[in-house]
A = this chain, B = another copy of it.
Amino acid sequence: MNADDNDDCAVYDFPGNLSLVIGMDFVRGPGFVLFQEHYLNYFDLGYYLVVANLSDIAAMGATPIGITTVIRYHESLTDEDFSQILQGIKAAAALYQTPIVGGDIGGYTETVLAATAFGITQHGKYLKRRGALPGDLLCLTGEIGLASTALVYFTKARKLGFLLAEEEEAILLRAWRRPVARIREGLVLTQLGVVHVCQDVSDGVKATIDQLAQASSVSFKIDEASLPIHPLTRKVATMLDVDPISVALSASVDFELMFTISPADLINVQRVFLLPGTALHVLGEAIPSSIPSYLLRNDGGKSSVPGVAWDQQVQNVADVILE
């Protein structure tokens, strides 16, 4: 085993230049606020379980080769509910061409969803969490904050009478119902061999920045102008008069990859990320750790990086964002 304790996954180097990558994630599932408020169904939970686990493999830049699942059902779960979970698992696994290779099914005093995903790569080729250098560019594979925006909107704004259009609500819910594991992006980044550190942002962008900074003993300077914040996040933040940046950077299960590269490699990365369906955003750069990480506002002001990091004690991050 040679992965850092810091990495999302375990890594085994086997003979024949083969490395095995393993990640294991439990998913709150029925504990999701949006599930409890009936915006998500059991199919969505099964789908989410697979994507959350594959995202760990994506963040290592590995090719997924299989997933095993634990499904324990509370006595209140109907056969139809259970079948919906299974169908969600199967649909996501099929979309990511990842066979379901076993698992554990049974009853328990609470419904439980967990999984382990496996991937392969070559010796030394997996993407690491430690090794960012001052001067590195901090990059991101897509927009962030739609999942946290969904929480703020459905559990707060909407209840106060603010209403989005149906299509807009669908976009927000899609972040939870059909999340995307950036497998292709991770593989492309591995191929390029230019990434210093990589992690998915499933704990939120602020939390990910803090974790990457700590692991590599650097800080990050973030440019407000570069943040890929969806117009809906701004719209919902405005409804409640909160900072859209705080909503976007707070705990949000976006599953985008955040990584650093040397500025000299940017052109090579940009060239690949012209692929349809991919995106590349340069959020800022790594700076020496003597200066704390900060956000450079559009007006020239500086502040600490806003947002609420994921905290498993917090049931609904929207509660904290709106405090």
Spell out A's residues near B (CB within 8 Å): 1, 3, 7-10, 12, 14-16, 18, 20, 22-26, 28, 31, 65-66, 68-70, 72, 99, 101-104, 106-110, 112, 114, 116, 118, 120, 312-313
Kindly list chain B residues whose C-beta atoms are within 8 Å of the C-beta of A18. 14-16, 18
Find the residue from A1, A31, A107, A116 having the highest chain B CB count within 10 A.
A116
Smallest beta-carbon distance A262→chain B, Å: 29
Q: A68-B116, A99-B1, A114-B112 are in contact. Are A104 and B14 (CB under 8 A)?
A: no
Secondary structure class of chain A's binding surface, majority of residues: strand
- 14 further interface pairs, Cβ-Cβ under 8 Å (given A1-B99, A10-B68, A114-B114): A1-B65, A10-B102, A14-B16, A20-B118, A22-B118, A24-B68, A26-B70, A26-B112, A26-B114, A107-B312, A108-B110, A109-B110, A112-B112, A116-B116
Copies in the complex: 2
Nearest residue, chain B, Cβ from A65? B12
Smallest beta-carbon distance A129→chain B, Å: 12
Nearest residue, chain B, Cβ from A25? B104
Kindly list chain B residues whose C-beta atoms are within 8 Å of the C-beta of A118. 12, 20, 22
Nearest residue, chain B, Cβ from A103? B24
